[in-house]
Amino acid sequence: MRRTELVLLGGPQGIGKTICTLQMARNVAMRGDQFAFFLSYEHTETHLMNRLLCLESVNPPEMDLSGGVKLKDLYDLVISQRARGYLDNGTGSGSLQGILRQDRKTAAALARMSRYADRLILVKASPAVTTLRTLREMTARLCEATNGNVSVFVDYLQKVAVHPERPTDEAEKVTIIVEGLKDIALALDVPVFAIVAADREGLKSKRLHLFHLRGSSALDYECDIAVIMNNKYHILSKEHMTFNPYKAKQYRDWVVFTVEKNRAGRAMTDVEFQLHAQYFAFDPRGRLVQQQLIDEKIIEQ
């Protein structure tokens, strides 16, 4: 991620776009001199923090799954401890941090979060009122407060409000948004990373591409880097699955990231990472795809 550049991340529903983007924002914030501004039109700040607790419980890149905490585990712990506190003293007192510190797994995750908590800014945006102008103003204030050491993450692009403009259709709306995000990156000298939803045809396709992203051709034109996510299992050839059924099943947890556009370097590069969805984390120890990728399937070399 470089200053002044706009990076787009596309993929089908449920592929892990938000998981990936939030983990990237967390990684940026873990650097002592960098701040990450994560603007979500999909999730509340509390839900994002719960996801981060689950992620930190496996401690990437170590990925110690034995210490992992799932979302249900987290909810059950908080509910049970608050109920116990109410029964013990009749007041229902006890802070969330206090409850999390009492459990070995969540205490370790909370301690890891505390290392970057003041540098990761989570904001729940509204598709009705959080406009491009609002996003620009918030980013400008953060740049002033941090000497410009801010990376901006938007989840997701199509939900950004565009008042007072009145686009006639979604293509025009997306053009306004993507041009506005690129302008924020250029004018404020920050990297901007935005999730983009797929269109209907893309959701039907076996393998998603840049041209399947919902909106207009401005997405392709304005961005500096475009990365497309696909589930590896879904883009395997039938022949490959027939001869390697056990191995093919293992690919369900692997996501192929294809760099379909890159102004400053190589494009059409395929890298795969293992997704641990229950912990809202990708194993960051990725690798180049060993199979040959074609449009609709993978053929073993």
For 98, the token pair is: 């206090």
Q: What is the pLDDT of residues 5-51, one digit of tens each?
A: 999 999 999 999 999 999 999 999 999 889 999 999 999 999 999 99
Please tell me the total number of residues recorded for the chain in this structure.
301
Task: Name the pLDDT band for 294 (thresholds 50, 70, 90).
Answer: low
Residue 269, pLDDT > 70, answer: yes
Residue 220, pLDDT > 50, answer: yes
Residues 95 and 89: beta-carbon distance below 8 Å: no
Residue 128: count other Cβ atoms within 10 Å of its Cβ: 9
pLDDT score at 240: 53
**Helix, strand, or coil here: 281?**
strand
Residue 64, pLDDT > 50, answer: yes
What is the average pLDDT score of the chain?
Answer: 88
Q: Enumerate domains of the chain plus CATH numbers.
A: 6-228 (3.40.50.300)
pLDDT score at 28: 97
**Helix, strand, or coil here: 267?**
coil
Residues 123 and 25: beta-carbon distance below 8 Å: no
| Helix ranges (DSSP H) in 170-230 | 170-188, 200-204, 218-222
Buried b (16+ CB within 10 A) or exposed e, 130-139: bbbebbbebb
Report the run of H or E that residue 228 belongs to, with start and end: strand 225-231
Q: Which residue has the higher pLDDT, 188 or 295?
A: 188
pLDDT score at 75: 87
Phi, psi of 271 (to 5 degrees): -125, 145
Nearest to 226 by CA among 9, 1, 4: 9
CA distance 233 to 15: 12
Q: Which residue has the higher pLDDT, 24 or 101?
A: 24
Looking at 156-165, 177-186, 240-249, which range is the least confident one?
240-249
pLDDT score at 234: 82
